[in-house]
Each structure stands twice: as C-alpha cells, then as structure tokens.
Amino acid sequence: MQLEKISIAPMLDWTDKNYRYFMRLISKHTTLYTEMIVADAIIHGERDKLLSFDNSEQHLVLQLGGSNPEKLAKAALIAKDYGYTEFNLNCGCPSEKVQVGNFGASLMQEPQLVADCLNAIRETTNLPATIKHRIGIDKEDNYAFVTNFVQYISENTKNTKFIVHARNAILQGLSPKQNREIPPLKYDYVYQLKKDFPHLEIIINGGIKTSTEIDNHLNNVDGAMLGREAYYNPYLFANFDKHYFNDNNSLSKTRLQIATEMIPYLEKILQHGGKLHYATRHMIGLYHGCKNAKLWRQTLTTKLTQSNSLHEYKNLLNQMMTENI
C-alpha cells in the first residue's frame, strides 16, 4: 500500500458520499474515509444506501464499527463487492452508544479481540484491515498503554497502519464533543510511536488545522489525518495535490470552479427525487474566510433548502462571480 500522507477522518453524518464527491473535486489524492458503519447495519440494512459510492471517490476506505469478528468479516465481504479495497476498524469513538455495543475506544481494553477482528476481516477479504484508535482510555493515559496496544496489534496481525488520535478517550462523563476538546493533545506520544516502531505507518490525528501544522507533523510521522477542519474549511485542501503528492499537473481550482463542477452532481440528485441540501449542506464552508462567506452560507442553508431549485443555486454562483470571490 502507498503511504497515506493526507487523509480526511471518518465523521458521522458528515463524510457521506455527497461530501466525499465534493471533496474529490478539491483534491484528487487525499485519502477519503466513510462514516463509521456498524457491521450489523451492512448485514441487515439497506446496503446500496450505506455502501454505494462514485468511482471518483477512490481511494476510499470503509470504516467499520463492531467487535464481533465473524460479523465484521461478513460485512467487509459484502462491502468488497461494492468496490471497497481497504477497511478500517473504529477503536477511537468514545460515545456511550458504541460502548453499549462494546466497540469504538472501549475496544482498546481488549487488544486480543481487536486482533481477532482485524485478522477476520483480512483473511475473509484478502484486503488490508487497519485501525484508528486513541492514545489511551480514561485514566490509562501513560505512554506505556498505547505502546503496548500498538505492539500487540502489530505482532498479532498483518496490519502495519495505525491512525492515532492524540487524545485520551474518556468513556464516562464526557460527550463525544467534549472528548474532542477537553483531553489534552499529546502529539509527542504519536511521534514516539514512530520512533519505537519505525517499520509501521503512523498517521496522526486530532486538532490539526493548517498546512504549517501538517508540515511539522510530517517531520515526525508518516501521515496526517484532518477531521473537522476538513469539513469547516474544505478549500484548505486546494493545493494539497501539488504540495503533498507532487502532482505538478494538478491546478488549484477556484472556489467558483469547484461550485460550478458540482452542478451535474446536483442535477443527478434532483433526477432521483432527492434534495439539493443532501449535498449543499456539506459545501457551506467552501467560502470560509472570504468576504461574502455569509451570503454563500445563508443562501445554501435557507433559500436553497426551501426552494430545492438548481436555478437558485446558479443564481448564487452568478452573485459570487460578480463579487469576484
């Protein structure tokens, strides 16, 4: 597998296929992740709705939630038929919902079970099964905890890619939002993992907001995964193909070009009886920091949501063109 230098984190209700299509117009080479999808949902639910994606989204990784090796393997095998070529096991989500199902961050307490899950996925699909996890859980916030976890997984599976959110997960007393903000970032733990396990691919995640921060991280680890900043400020990625992937043929598009290139996709949504806001809700941050960001944001969230009119969307693009932004 090629090293995953830049990626966008799996985020529930955000990194759906509409967002991913939009982001692929901005960066061709950034690795994209699905929202976490629970294995049972794939086995028993609406598979087309959960798993279908546009080929332009590749390289795309499916993040799975669960703790039953057999179910995870079955779900991955189903997903393989949809064209997925890599899977990721969620061992980082701290919400109470995933604790009830004994997966997410709580799985870090059971490294043998994690290894069983990863091995089952890989052996069944013959495809990579990677892991995203925290540096610790609850009071287990010393470096020894995370290094023992990584060592066990690396020695008992074929996985060589570890995506590490550089915060502890507090399983009791903090909401998922608070878990993204209150536990302190300990980037030095992730850097040390790379020093202690130089043969592993270590990707850092948590609180990364700028290219300068990414550059600093890449001096210490193999890759950087961005979460909320990729959603709130998607145009940050406009020059990433050239800067991080040495794609000199990649020309940074203007915001207006990106918004215009979304028109055929929006037309397709309408043709299938859908709502424009399925996609446009993910585009609100495109003009982040620009003079007329408020006009863009308000039109997408009010007028366009109410009218569901592509004509309204095109009028907005004309306004943005007139304002030369």
**Domains of the chain (ranges plus CATH)?**
6-245 (3.20.20.70), 255-322 (1.20.120.1460)
Strand pairing partners for 201? 161
- Per-residue confidence (pLDDT) for residue 67, from 0 to 100: 95
- What is the C-alpha separation between 138 and 324, in angstroms, rounded? 50
Tokens coding 79? 């997903």
- Per-residue confidence (pLDDT) for residue 99, from 0 to 100: 54
- Per-residue confidence (pLDDT) for residue 319, from 0 to 100: 92
CB 73 within 8 A of CB 67: no
- Per-residue confidence (pLDDT) for residue 71, from 0 to 100: 98
- What is the C-alpha separation between 95 and 102, in angstroms, rounded? 11
Q: How many residues does the chain have?
A: 325
Tell me which residue of 24, 22, 79 sits closest to 56, measured CA to CA: 24
93 annotated active-site: yes
- Per-residue confidence (pLDDT) for residue 140, from 0 to 100: 83
pTM (2 decimals)? 0.95
- What is the C-alpha separation between 22 and 35, in angstroms, rounded? 15
Q: Which residue has the tokens 């909401």?
A: 175
Residues of the chain with pLDDT under 70: 1-2, 95-101, 323-325
Residue 33 backbone dihedrals phi, psi, to 5 degrees: -125, 145
What does the angle CA 173 – CA 178 – CA 182 come to, to the nearest 5 degrees?
95
Q: Which helix (H) or strand (E) holds 69?
A: helix 69-80
Sequence-separated contacts (24+) of 213-216 with Cβ below 8 Å: 214/6, 214/244
Pairing state of beta strands 37-38 and 32-33? unpaired
Quick one: 220 exposed, middle or buried, by C-beta within 10 A (0-12, 13-18, 19+)? middle
- Categorise residue 207: left if φ over 0, alpha if ψ from -120 to 50, beta otherwise: left
DSSP conformation letters of 97-144: HHHHTT-GGGGGG-HHHHHHHHHHHHHHHSS-EEEEEEEEETTB-SHH
Contacts of 140 (CB under 8 A, 6+ apart): 168
- What is the C-alpha separation between 165 and 227, in angstroms, rounded? 10
- Per-residue confidence (pLDDT) for residue 170, from 0 to 100: 83
- Per-residue confidence (pLDDT) for residue 158, from 0 to 100: 97
Q: Which residue has the tokens 């990707």?
A: 203
pLDDT digits (tens, 9 = 90+) for 218-251: 999 999 999 999 999 999 999 999 999 999 887 7
End-to-end CA distance of the chain: 39
- Three-class SS of residue 249? coil
CA dihedral 241, 246, 247, 252 (to 10 degrees): 40
CB 163 within 8 A of CB 133: yes
- Label residues 99-113 b or e (16+ Cβ within 10 Å = b): beeebbbbbbbebee
pLDDT digits (tens, 9 = 90+) for 252-263: 799 999 999 999
- Per-residue confidence (pLDDT) for residue 97, from 0 to 100: 58
